[in-house]
Amino acid sequence: MAEHLLEVRDLSVEFHTAAGTVKAVQDVSWHLDRGETLAILGESGSGKSVSASAIMNLIDMPPGRITSGTILFNGRDMLAMSAEERRAINGARIAMIFQDPLAHLNPVYTVGWQITEMMTTHGAPREEARTRALDLMKRVGIPRPELAMNKYPFQFSGGQRQRLMIAMALACKPDILIADEPTTALDVTVQAQVLELLGELQDETGMGLLLITHDLGVVAEIADRVVVMNSGCIVESGNAAEVYRNPQHPYTKKLIDAAPGKGEMPDEQERKGEPLLSAIGLHKTYGAFHALKGVDIAIMPGETVAVVGESGSGKSTLARAILRLDDPNSGQVLYRGRDLLAMSPRELFGLRRDLQMVFQDPTQSLNPRMTVFQLISEAWAIHPGILPRARWKERVAELLVKVGLKPDMAARYPHQFSGGQRQRIAIARALAMEPKLIVCDEAVSALDVSIQAQVIALLDGLRREFGLSYLFIAHDLPVVRDFADRVVVMKDGEIVEEGPVRQIFDAPAHPYTRALLAASLDPDPEIQAARRAARNLEEGLEIA
C-alpha cells in the first residue's frame, strides 16, 4: 500500500458535556497526498473541523477525548508522539490558517515581527528569518512589503490579513497547509484572489492542502477530492467533479440541491404607481468617511429589492438610514409619500409597525434573557393597538407554526435553538408587527446552505401570503438571483447599477457588476474549471 503524506484512520472523538457525551466525529478516515487539495465539506456541527483540530493537537482534553483511531504523518502515528515532537511538527511541517485572521494575529506586534517569530521559534536565525519574511510578504501580494513589515494587523484589510496569515503559515515551508474556512469572512472578489493565491502557492511548493469549508463553490474552485461530512460521519468522498455530478448519498444530494443560484429568475414586472418606500439623495458621513454619496432607491408594494455590494459599500448604512437607526446627513426617505426623516418621534412611532428588520446574526439580535414568547409578544406590548393581551398566547403559537416551529417552543430561550431556528424566531417577531416592509440585513448569510434555502423559501412564502415588500441586503449573489425582483449594486457609497434581476445577471452593464459576477463561485466544478481557464487565457493575452 502506498504511503500517504497524511492519513487519518478510524478517528473518533467525543466531548463530555453536562448534557452527556457528544460524539463529534465517528470512524473518520481520509488521506492527503503531496500536491493535492482535499476539501472537507460540511455544515456547522458536522464535525468537519474536528479531525483538523486533532491533527494540530487543538482539542481540549478534557472535555474532549480521542476514543479511537490513528493519525499518520509520513507513516508515523502523531497521537503516539510526545508533546515535544508534536510542537516541532506544528507550524513547521503542518501549518494552519483560520477563518478570522484578525483574531489570530496578535494586535500589539507588527506583522513583520510575527512572521519572523514564527521562523525563529523553529530555530531559524533572526536575519535570515527577516529576509524570508520580506520575500513571503512580497509573494502573497502585500503592496510595499518593506513598509508593511512594520505595520500592525489593524492597518490591513481583511483580505490582506488573510494573505499575511498565509505568509506566516508558509514561513517554515510546511508539507501540509490546513485552511479552516479561509475565505468565509471575505468579500467575493477577495475570496477569488485568496483562493487563486493558495492554488499558485501549492503549485510552487507541492504542499498538500486540506481545506475545510461549507461552501460548494470553494470546493468547485480549488479541490481535487472532497469528503462530505454530516453529523460526525463521512457520508461520501471522492473526486470533486464526480461527487458534484453524481452524488450517491441523499445528504450530498440535498446539499447540492440547496445551493442557491439555480432557480428561474422572475420576469421583469411593470413598476407603476407610487412606490411603497423611496429614498432620495441620501448622504451619510462618519467623520471624514463618506458612507453614502447620494443614494436613490425605490421599493414598490410587494416587491423585493436586493442591495448587493462588498463590505464598506454602504449597503448596511443605507438600511440603517431608512429605518432611522442612524440619521443620514441629508436626503429624504418617503414612506407612502411622507418623509420619515422629518417626522417627530411620536409620528415615527406609529410607522415603526410597518417597517421591520431582520438582522444578520439572530444570536445577537434576540435578547438572551427573554423567552420566545416574550420576544414575539414584545411587539404587542410596545404597540398596544395590535392585539389584546388575552390573545397573545394563541397568536404567538400561530406565528411559530407559520415560520415552521412548534407552538410549545414558546417557553424556551434563544440559546436552546439552532442558528436557523433562531432566525425563524426573528422573522416571527418581525411578522408580529404585521409590517408592510421587512429590511433583511444579510439575514441569511450566517446560515448553513440548506437552512439558508429553507429561510429563503419561508420569506418567499410570506411575501406571497401577506404581500410584503423586502429590502434584501446581501453580499451573496446566487441567493439574490433566486429571491429578488430588482437588484441594486453598490460600491463605495454609490449605486453603480440598478435593474431587474434578469438584466443584472444576464447582461451586466457596469464593469464592477461584471467583476462581482465573475468572482462569485459556482458550485459546479466544471463551470469553475472553465472560468479558471478563461481567466488564465485572459492573463496570458495581457502578458503577450
Partner 1 sequence: MTDTQILSGRKQSGALGRWFSMLWADKLAFFAALFLFVVLLCAILGPHFLDAYATKQNLRGRNAPPFDLTHGWIYVLGADALGRPLLARIVVAAQNTMLVAAGAVAASSVVGAALGLVAGYSRRSAAQWIMRLGDVIMSFPSLLLAVIVLYMLEPSVANIVLVLAITRIPIYLRTTRAEVLEVRERMFVQAATVMGASHRRIVFRHILPVILPTLVTIATLDFAFVMLAESSLSFLGIGIQAPEITWGLMVSQGRPYLTNAWWLSFWPGLAIILTTLSLNLLSNWLRIALDPAQRWRLEMRGRKNG
Residues that bind partner 1 (CB under 8 A): 18-20, 323, 325, 348-349, 352-353, 355-357, 359, 361, 364-369, 371, 378-379, 381-383, 408, 411-413, 415-416, 426, 429, 433
3-state class of 11 per DSSP?
strand
Smallest distance from partner 1 to CB 485, Å: 23
Smallest distance from partner 1 to CB 421, Å: 10
Smallest distance from partner 1 to CB 18, Å: 6
Smallest distance from partner 1 to CB 320, Å: 9
User: Closer CB to partner 1, residue 20 or residue 125?
Assistant: 20
| Contacts of residue 422, Cβ cutoff 8 Å, sequence gap at least 6 | 362, 363, 366, 414
Q: What are phi and psi of 356, to 5 degrees?
A: -120, 165
CA-only gyration radius of the chain, Å: 25
User: Closer CB to partner 1, residue 122 or residue 353?
Assistant: 353
3-state class of 299 per DSSP?
strand
Smallest distance from partner 1 to CB 429, Å: 8
User: Closer CB to partner 1, residue 125 or residue 368?
Assistant: 368
User: Closer CB to partner 1, residue 27 or residue 361?
Assistant: 361
Are 255 and 44 in contact, with CB atoms under 8 Å apart? no
Are 282 and 341 in contact, with CB atoms under 8 Å apart? no
Smallest distance from partner 1 to CB 347, Å: 11
Amino acid at the residue 536: N
Smallest distance from partner 1 to CB 383, Å: 7
User: 483 — alpha (psi -120 to 50), left (phi > 0) or beta?
Assistant: alpha
| Contacts of residue 423, Cβ cutoff 8 Å, sequence gap at least 6 | 358, 362, 443, 444, 446, 447, 451, 455
In DSSP terms, which residues pair with 439 in a beta bridge?
A: 357, 471
CA-closest candidate to residue 521, choices 274, 253, 184, 229: 184
User: Closer CB to partner 1, residue 142 or residue 375?
Assistant: 375
User: Closer CB to partner 1, residue 347 or residue 538?
Assistant: 347
| Contacts of residue 160, Cβ cutoff 8 Å, sequence gap at least 6 | 142
Cell numbers that stand for 3 in this block: 504511503
User: Closer CB to partner 1, residue 139 or residue 412?
Assistant: 412
